Structure 1
Amino acid sequence: MSVSDFTIEQKSDHFIGRFSAMASPCELLIETQDSMLANHLTSLAYSEAKRIELKFSRYLPSNPMAKINQSQGNPVNIDGEIFRLLEFANSCFELSEGMFDITSGVLRKAWKFDGSDRLPTPEMVKKLMPYIGWAKVKYDQSSITLPKGMELDFGGIGKEYAVDCVAKLCAEYAATTSVVVNFGGDIQVTRARHNKQPWYIGIESPENAEATKVLKIISGGLATSGDARRYLLKDGKRYSHILDPETGYPIEDAARSVTIAAPYCIQAGLLATLALLQGANAETFLQEQDIKFWCYR
């Protein structure tokens, strides 16, 4: 790791650590005047984010995910961390009644959400449907067996998981320091600030990349899900990148953007995605959860 992998900048009452990981700009807001502490926490965060990215990215040719996805129906050994994420993915599947399915990432072979008007043919989608279905996956604490042709994609929970892991490391190393971990809008605050002031976080409008609403956060997690950058537009109809694993097509009437506040970032991310999966019923679903949320259409 070289110093150029990350930067730190001193502000009046905190430092900002910056780097890139998981195809996102990553920031740490660190309530300290100690540059060595800020440098060390940013270095820890960078290393942990890169570790998780290298382990769980579906884009790398020889990491654990590649071994699982290229296993051709044969069992693959897994470690405790992969098992815990599989258990979380299973909980997501059950809580969503099958709508949150980490095997549905295979649909990216048909759907390219690049802002164009190029929709896949029904045949392209139909051909992929037999390779979707979390219930077909068999795993235990030591191994996983994925049917031939199927793939796992942790993209729906990976960044939020990384945020929580980095926040935990920061809290362990600097228990009395308030740190905001912000990976592309997925956020965790380790503890309240000493000056009792909130941190101010801007969330993006679905229409443009400029922050349109500034949220005050004291502790806990924040996550946003939406189609600001990933969508298709055909004959005036917008197609969200949130796909229904039961049909292979985008959810109808999905909100443009949902932001959730929850105790942990990974919880907030799950609820934001579940809300989008509810389509026109997103607001009703969120009100039933008794949580703070912001929903844009």
Structure 2
Amino acid sequence: MGSPCALSLYCESKLQFEDLIAKSLELVNRLEDTYSRFKPESLLSKVNSAAGSDATFPLDDECWQLFNYADSAYKISDGLFDVTSGVLRQVWDFKSNKLPPIDKLEAVVALVGWHKIKLQQDSFSLPHEGMELDLGGIVKEYAADLLASTLRLSGCEFGLVDMAGDIAVVGPHPDHSPWNIAISNPAATTKAIATIPLMSGGLASSGDYERFIMLDGERHSHILNPKTGMPVKGLAGVSVWAPKCVIAGTIATVAMLKGDLAKAWLIDVDCNYLAIDQNGQLDMKN
């Protein structure tokens, strides 16, 4: 999925291990073939290519559920979690150390807006030419959850799925001790600033420290407000753990997009979280 992924599994035999790996690869490849915007034959790429045309696409049950989840996330975040906002990458180049021209930014922001879409399972389409869907903020976390569930149903009792930091627990270690998940220090990403013990469920993190532009001593992160197209200023990072990785990922993403209102929002949704401010100070609820 365009990022390093790993499985940590306890198996009864080499045969069981090989069977679980084969099932895992088949599942992840299927999701990537369907939802990757990098693959021209994926459903998502076909929908994006047909934006603004008369072409429509029927959605299977899984895709329908994912789109409805995106709809719910959009609503509970007051429009900040928007799967049409990936189009902003057209004007933001975080390797250039330059801000995008205002006129180009405004033109792309006009293409953003999940509310512009009429969600229909039998005839889904993007209404305006140039609009795009990017499910990268949902499918990787969903994949972690689905993979963990599939492994459990296949007889694996102890293990962990790591989709580039989006974590889903299959089950604890065989001695019933937790998996200790290290949280990166925004100021020194190769070091841990905290460790979260997980027995079940999922964990996801979001932060402003991996991709950014420095201009006149000010950091402009890759976390963009879909309503303005501009970087959000707030927490340096947040990790959330919940019964499902996809839920944890959505909450973490929205918290980063909330800027200065992030902590109040995290408290309001009553979740388990670790928030890291720009000074490296920690605020944790467990």
Give TM-score, length-normalised by structure 1.
Answer: 0.87
Q: How does 1:99-110 map to 2 (within 5 A)?
A: 99-110=80-91
Give TM-score, length-normalised by structure 2.
Answer: 0.90
Deviation at 1:144, TM superposition (A): 0.6
Q: SS in structure 2 opposite 1:154? A: coil
CA distance in structure 1 between the aligned counterparts of 2:30 and 2:189, rounded to whole angstroms: 28
CA contact (8 A) 1:240 1:254 kept: no
**Cα 1:146–1:168 shift into 2, 3 Å:** same
Partner of 2:216: 235
CA contact (8 A) 1:275 1:286 kept: yes
Identify which of 26, 38, 41 aligns with 1:47: 26
Deviation at 1:265, TM superposition (A): 0.1
Letter in 2 for 1:174: G
Deviation at 1:191, TM superposition (A): 2.8
Deviations 1:39-60 (A, max 9, x none): 2222222221121112111111
Q: Does residue 162 of structure 2 align to residue 156 of structure 1?
A: no
CA contact (8 A) 2:80 2:257 kept: yes
CA distance in structure 1 between the aligned counterparts of 2:24 and 2:86, rounded to whole angstroms: 27
Structure 2: tracts of 5 or more residues without a match: 278-286
Partner of 1:282: 262
Structure 1: tracts of 5 or more residues without a match: 1-21
CA contact (8 A) 1:185 1:203 kept: no
Q: SS in structure 1 opposite 2:153? A: helix
Q: Percent identity?
A: 36
Partner of 1:37: 16
Deviation at 1:231, TM superposition (A): 1.6
Deviates more, 1:193-202 or 1:98-107: 193-202
Query: Which portions of structure 1, spanning 4 or more consecutive aligned residues, are displaced by more than 4 angstroms?
Result: none
Letter in 1 for 2:25: Y
CA distance in structure 2 between the aligned counterparts of 1:76 and 1:261, rounded to whole angstroms: 34
Deviation at 1:217, TM superposition (A): 1.0
Partner of 1:166: 147
Deviation at 1:33, TM superposition (A): 4.7
CA distance in structure 2 between the aligned counterparts of 1:34 and 1:274, rounded to whole angstroms: 42
Partner of 1:196: 176
Q: How does 1:42-121 map to 2 (within 5 A)?
A: 42-71=21-50, 72-74=52-54, 75-114=56-95, 116-121=96-101
Q: Does residue 76 of structure 2 align to residue 135 of structure 1?
A: no
Q: SS in structure 2 opposite 1:225? A: strand
Partner of 2:105: 125
CA RMSD of aligned residues (A): 1.6
